[in-house]
Structure 1
């Protein structure tokens, strides 16, 4: 039965919503940048039309699917006014009871009666009088809420509120979560999809103290092993992991012709060296015992505490990939150094670059949600690159599969989160690289490109200006056919509910402009995106 409904669901969505990705590009010659209102109107119209298709499919499925399957469908796209039963996560502890709430935009109106009961606050809620009074956490921290005067007393502080923040209905008093957190001294993060309210409080709540006492009693009765986190610090040197691949070929020209046998090898290594992670790829053949070599040393940390005042999270030098600057071409690998304070797995942009090491000649397949996105063949340098991989709003779980010529199979996974909530404390993040174009530690090939060895500089800086909005700037300088090209970039990302919008612009200092407006949306298990771009006639993209 379950499989039948899954097939039916897939068929319905295929009929109602064929692949929904819209890309428009204004012609180069004599193009004028569309007005901002027109771009926003196009994005809104796209989202409205897509949403209608999803709703028709879901309405039909709701009539024929069993209750247990229908309940299993995630409700990320919850409309305003919907009743929620929120599970409370206090610190690292999930409380046993739930709190009734009403979704209102990015906030929720919480039942004050449910909330005070689960928190063990001694507050008497009297909705018929529009009053709630008592104390919270400690007896000297008085609490009094009066809907008649629009005032709240919490501890030694006094607040005012309007009817939008507090509502009396259904025999209870409902208070906006953000306002309640301000009054009672806690921060709350809502996960609408899982109906969880994550709460962090500077003061321990009575329910926390009660659970801690019970835990101590249980621990005394039956001691259990405590497994502390095991740090894995960088060391001076470790025995490296070594992966060796040998390839032999046998050829004969025609009938009775001379036979030729050739051998190629690839050695991939990884391990600690001089307090860093060292990754090397070395290739050779019968003619050249060492035809190419790549070596990268890197160091990373969960916190921005590397390189002293630079407050970096990661740095690398040797054979590296340059920093990606939006709308200015694909990043090129080369010898150099790269320093970044950003989290590589959390981005605000609509595209990303996925790279890695593999055996030369192998095929590498990139997929997401069982949908194949791209396939590349690894070159002689042992490196694969997927450029301009489009991102969905929220989590993107990529699967990278390497296929060898003899049936070898290796899988890897990489998670990239596309969200505006990537920073904390108002501190910006940067990513800067300086490289020599098209170079590596060693390469036997005597051919040389016009740009090989020329310096290239790329850098970005991003800051969160609101809880749902970031701004980003960047610059890139590189040569193309030995001609220096310089770009400056500016962009922003903002969330509108479950819609993530991006606006980007890149200016070629030779006098041309490229702009792009995009919107991505998740509706339950569905995702859609729209992109509108403009590129000046003489804009010089570098790839």
Structure 2
């Protein structure tokens, strides 16, 4: 009886096993096909990460730009990550799959849409290829839009190149990038502060050595000569110039003499000049506020309405400062701007001052000096996202004008 039960039970177990296999085997046949379809729906599943060093002109900008590679030469760069490194403005909406901004300055706008696989450049709507762009979401709000290197070079003409063997990317554009422009501005500001420090240089411990005009001092003479010989006639033409400087009679004496030897004889000197000059520097002055006296061969400064100056033997006196500052007047430069923006003040191409717009949206630069000639006063405003605005005004000051309340005179006579 026990033997019969075992024979009956065994075939039943076999039947159950066969039934289970019959149900499972068809499912296993469909699983690889379903997985293959899922893999084929994501063309970027076979990409892998690259950590690149970004450099420009042998200068390392960062050692950790996260990029992706697909195949042998398919490199994908993060739009937001790269923009932050180079100082380019971009507004990333990861949920919408869009990135908008401008390249270097407003007006060079672009818009990238990873969802629709399109981008707008210079007002033209252009389609991405299916494998040119993808969104990488790392979760918790972190992620970026990745664009193929060649396409991103069209949107941003940065001329980027990747060397896979060294995992380095070079940025080769000839245009200065925002971070470079900002560095140049900071350098200019440092130079301005250094100049200001130099103007207030502490002379404590230095000796002031007087060097007054003397009745006589040994001259310093320069002699130059040239000769020419003509073989056919045997004539010799020699020219010699003597020029010197010394103190004489309480003046500084400048003299010049030209001698010529021609056709075997000396030619009477026709160019013999001597000028005595005395000047007052700094706070020193001569009687009646005279700053300069010239005797001998001199030239009279041309009045503003004449064509040229006159020169000859005579005398000249002037109360004009020897070293003119050129300052005619002072103005106040003021206006309104967006609070927090950086601001710089220029006169022509010279940086005069800099700062940050106050919370009130008001800026003010006092005691801005105007010089003789053309004064192009320019205010440049820099926004946090690469915006640049300029405000320019021009002041024309005649070179012969004096500051209000200031009097100068000069007089001269020549034969």
Tell me the TM-score normalised to structure 2 length. 0.32
Query: Which protein has greater RCO, CA pairs closer than 8 Å, 6+ apart?
Result: 1
Which protein is bigger by CA-based radius of gyration? Answer: 2
